[in-house]
Amino acid sequence: MLLEAVIEFQCLDCGSDLITTSDKEEVLCVCRSCEREYSFKELTEESLLQLYSSYNSDGNEPELATCPFCLEESYLYYEKQCALCGETAAHECIRCGSEIPAEEISDDNLCSYCNYMQEKLMSE
Ligand SMILES: [Zn+2]
Ligand SMILES: [Zn+2]
Ligand SMILES: [Zn+2]
């Protein structure tokens, strides 16, 4: 999936899709047209945004969520994996079994309601 995103990626500066890999350290890819350099993190974030922004326009749920592990906008909700750190968050609440929506994805296994109930219980 990440590879697919990178292939579709267009240079932020010149719009060229001639993005090629670099053998320099710290630089993952470089634009062959204007020589803009992209780090792994930058390329991942930008290419995911480019790839997924087109899907969001028809009113569907956003496919990108904030990753609870690395805190970047790189969690692929439908892939159930973060494109950046590779971590997987719980998509189903272990307490009530309901689906955890993209905006509530976190590093615990509870939906927001059960999380709230749990905290309430703990404080009593
Ligand atoms: Zn360029
Ligand atoms: Zn992550
Ligand atoms: Zn729940």
Domain around 121 = 91-124
**Distance (Å) from CA 98 to ligand 3 centroid:** 6
SS (H, E, C) 25-75: CCCCEEECCCCCEECHHHHHHHHHHHHHHHHHCCCCCCCEECCCCCCCCCE
Q: Given the structure tokens 């968050």, which residue do they identify?
A: 89
Tokens matching residue 42: 């930058």
**Distance (Å) from CA 55 to ligand 3 centroid:** 28
Q: 42 with 57, same domain?
A: yes
List pLDDT tens digits, range 38-64: 888 888 888 877 777 655 555 565 678
Can you tell me the distance from the alpha carbon of 44 to that of 27, in angstroms, rounded to the nearest whole number?
A: 12
Question: Does residue 26 surpass a pLDDT of 90?
Answer: no
**Distance (Å) from CA 21 to ligand 3 centroid:** 44
Q: Which residues surround ligand 2, an ion (CB under 5 A)?
A: 67, 69-70, 82, 84-85
Q: Which of 55, 47, 44 is nearest to 102 (CA)?
A: 55
Q: 104 with 81, same domain?
A: no
Tokens matching residue 10: 């267009």
Q: 85 with 95, same domain?
A: no
- Cα 119–chain centre separation: 28
Q: Are 83 and 103 in contact (CB under 8 A)?
A: no
Q: 44 with 60, same domain?
A: yes
Ligand minimally distant from the alpha carbon of residue 16: 1
Domain count, the chain: 2
Q: Given the structure tokens 């309901």, which residue do they identify?
A: 98
Can you tell me the distance from the alpha carbon of 29 to that of 35, in angstroms, rounded to the nearest whole number?
A: 9
**Distance (Å) from CA 123 to ligand 2 centroid:** 30
List pLDDT tens digits, range 64-92: 888 999 998 889 888 899 988 899 999 99
**Rounded mean pLDDT of the chain?**
84
Ligand minimally distant from the alpha carbon of residue 70: 2
Ligand minimally distant from the alpha carbon of residue 116: 3
Q: 78 with 112, same domain?
A: no
Q: 13 with 33, same domain?
A: yes
Q: 52 with 107, same domain?
A: no
- 100 or 124: which leads in pLDDT: 100
Ligand minimally distant from the alpha carbon of residue 19: 1
